[in-house]
Structure 1
Amino acid sequence: MPDSQVQSPQTASSPQARGPYEVDRLVLVPDDIDLSKSPLRGHIEAETYVLGAFNPGLLRLPNGNLMMMVRIAEALRTPIFDGHVHAIRWEDGRYVLDAWLLELADTADPRKFTLRGGGWKIMALTSLSWILPVELSPDGLEVVAHHYDKAVVPQNSVQCYGVEDPRVSKVGDRWLMTTCSVSPERHCTTLYSSDNGLDWRFEDIVLDHQNKDMLIFEGKIDNQFWAQTRPMGDLYFAYPPGSEWRAGPSINLAHSNDGLFWKPYLKPGIRPHSGTVATARMGGGTPPILTEDGWLSLWHGVEPKEIVGIYRTYWSIVDRNDPSVTLRTCHEPLLEPNPDLTRPIEHQMYLRDVVFTTGIADAGDHYVVASGEADLACRITHVPKSAFRV
């Protein structure tokens, strides 16, 4: 049984977006999370708060309801005290605080701090992320239950700084969920599986390098698993002058016989176009789903602006037999950040200009699309299928 059966009074009255979609609203905000049921309770004495409840994976349960797998970033209310800056860390089944001398750290960003020295970038987080299953009504607009007892939490050393950014795909009769696991050992992609969409089993590390957006296709190609990947780096080589492509982060591809051991695909996937800066940096968003036209992929493009940039959602249709071939794409954004939606939680905003689409579910004549808004809340949008036939 779920820990609570609720319809959030805050999100139920959230305003509709002034945009192209009839249904576009926030369905989960930080104040909806009950931290008395957090996995951190009873381990650390320092006060914490929900920095963000965002970037949800999405799946359709056997009972017809939707399930969001929500990243909960639980942060220290006061990370700096006693001349030190502190980080939360999982260690052997418990949560502890580490203290770093303030004079060694750059604390300009409230979400993290950078440690000076060493000759390369070293940072730690003032929050630790865990994943909360939140059950929704079939249309995705009402919260049915918060399943705190089914939370996905750190359980080994490669996750000591948290489990982040779930992406959920159904392949055959089983759900597969990729997550980012964070530790000093490595910043890697880990895989979970489930037979019912609620109880999750840790499988293994599947990518042993920084990769923020591994998305497993919802279906096989020639009896193989396929995935979009986005290896991170700070060095990219230039395309020749006049190329239609822009050098920088892009969406790569990999395939696997068993979903555990992955081989990069020789051909590139979806790449930034040189004709626009709106997608100068890009990465995957939702697991590709098969349509009559090919695999539908929603992805994010980032326009350079200040430190973080402007995150928008775009889409492409790729070939059902060779997903390196893009059949159709749109340079106009499918979703944009919407300040109207976050106005009721303005006092909690620490980041702007970000919508990060992370889940999709078929709902007949439309798709239910789940996004993180401002790295703070969960946004549900009903996007008609006709939007992808232009």
Structure 2
Amino acid sequence: MIQRRSDSLLLQPCDVHPSQVGLQVIGVFNPAVAMLGDEYCMLARVAERPSELRAGWTPLPRWRSGTTEVDWIRDEDLTHVDARVVAMKNSGDLRLTSASHLQIFRSMNSGGERWEAVAALLPEGPWEEYGIEDPRITRIDNTYWITYVAVSRSGAATALMSSTDLLTFHRHGIIFPSENKDVVLFPDMIAGDFVALHRPNPNSHFCPPQIWLARSPDMIHWGRHEFVLGGVHAWEGDRVGSGTPPILCDEGWLTLYHGSTRSTSVGTVGCYSAGALLLDRDQPGRVLGRSSEPIMQPTTAFELNGFVPNVVFPTAMLDRGDELQVFYGAADACVASACFSKQSVLDSLQRKTSAEYYNEIT
């Protein structure tokens, strides 16, 4: 790991009001962060579940027409996959134990440590029935583009919004269909194309988990997909996915990503850690370096304990010259930030050619 210059707990469930009566907030986490002039702006995922308890029954919330409805299912008819997910025994179909929306926060504090809630973004339509999750913000020219996960009975897809003020948003619909998430956008067009990193999540596991790259002429239609990275180390052997939108430094595009270990206990999730990835400036599908060991692992109490214990999940990174300010979700419960030396992150990378990295998974 790399030594953190600082870390701060920014938001926790008690700081957020439920979206409606009868719900309780169990997590505010996985934030997207951008600067709007001198002001920090954050879109954070807020997970809620019904506060009512019924012995022998499990409440499964879903959004419909701007409000949350609850399906009560007998415990004997469910298999608990982990704290986040259950499976219907009669069909194998999955449901979430909570439903998420996004809340907008602002901070004028110089370190982004005191936040004020200003508005909420609620799920809309059938593709967001089970909630909207895990936003990332990328500014391109004067437009802020927000990718986020839209969850429905058709699975987890990636949708797109845009804004010029981070208060009003225009939804553009699904851009990567199920099952695909952890989509981050590059802040500049490259060779005339918009570029994104994404995470296919196939049901058939022919190989370790992977991150891919795609290109688009208009931000809506994506193609020319290519492999970028595979989860070949133990700390990223179960899941791997993009974390922060890339920033451009002298050596190339620098981004953080997450990986998780395989759980050894039924009904639990493995440990989530963060690594770094350096991509070529002109050929962003070409890997110049990556982490062989995590640069960040759960160590603080709020990372080790929460709705899903042992999780750091980076989703935003601001370039502060020789320092990187990273915002992340902690234990699927809280928003936190940490600062790192940029040079220390770059120095930690294992340097290989893309062909060498690809050969690791074949």
1:218 to 163, 187, 191: 187
1:90 to 17, 42, 63: 63
Distance verdict in 2 for CA 1:34–1:258, change over 3 Å:
same
Q: 4+ runs of 1 displaced by more than 4 Å?
A: 107-110
Distance 1:99 1:389 in 2: 50
- 1:232 deviates by 0.7
Q: CA RMSD in A?
A: 2.1
Q: Percent identity?
A: 29
Q: Partner residue of 1:353? A: 310
Q: Partner residue of 1:288? A: 246
1:261 maps to 2:221: yes
| Larger relative strand fraction | 2
Q: Partner residue of 1:65? A: 39
Distance verdict in 2 for CA 1:305–1:172, change over 3 Å:
same
Give unmatched runs, 5+ long, in structure 2: 348-362
1:368 maps to 2:325: yes
- 1:65 deviates by 1.9
- 1:189 deviates by 0.9
Distance 2:42 2:301 in 1: 23
- 1:279 deviates by 2.1
Tell me the amino acid that sits aligned with residue 373 of structure 1: A
Distance verdict in 2 for CA 1:92–1:198, change over 3 Å:
closer
SS of 1:268's partner is strand
Distance 2:98 2:231 in 1: 32
8 Å contact kept, 1:140–1:380? no
Tell me the amino acid that sits aligned with residue 229 of structure 2: I
Q: Partner residue of 2:231? A: 272
What do residues 55-78 of structure 1 show as CA deviations (whole Å, max 9, x unaligned)? 10111112x122221100011234
Q: Partner residue of 2:355? A: none
Q: Partner residue of 1:242? A: none
8 Å contact kept, 1:182–1:188? yes
SS of 1:158's partner is helix
Distance 2:83 2:51 in 1: 10
- 1:109 deviates by 4.2
- 1:19 deviates by 7.5
1:326 maps to 2:291: no
Distance 2:146 2:94 in 1: 26
292-301 or 304-313: which moved more? 304-313
- 1:138 deviates by 5.4
- 1:197 deviates by 2.4
SS of 1:221's partner is coil
8 Å contact kept, 2:216–2:223? yes
1:55 maps to 2:30: yes
372-381 or 298-307: which moved more? 298-307
Distance 1:229 1:210 in 2: 11
Structure 1 length as normaliser, TM-score?
A: 0.82
Tell me the amino acid that sits aligned with residue 283 of structure 1: G
SS of 2:230's partner is coil
Distance verdict in 2 for CA 1:106–1:67, change over 3 Å:
same
What do residues 272-311 of structure 1 show as CA deviations (whole Å, max 9, x unaligned)? 33xx312223111111121121111111122223331111
1:116 maps to 2:76: no
1:159 maps to 2:128: yes
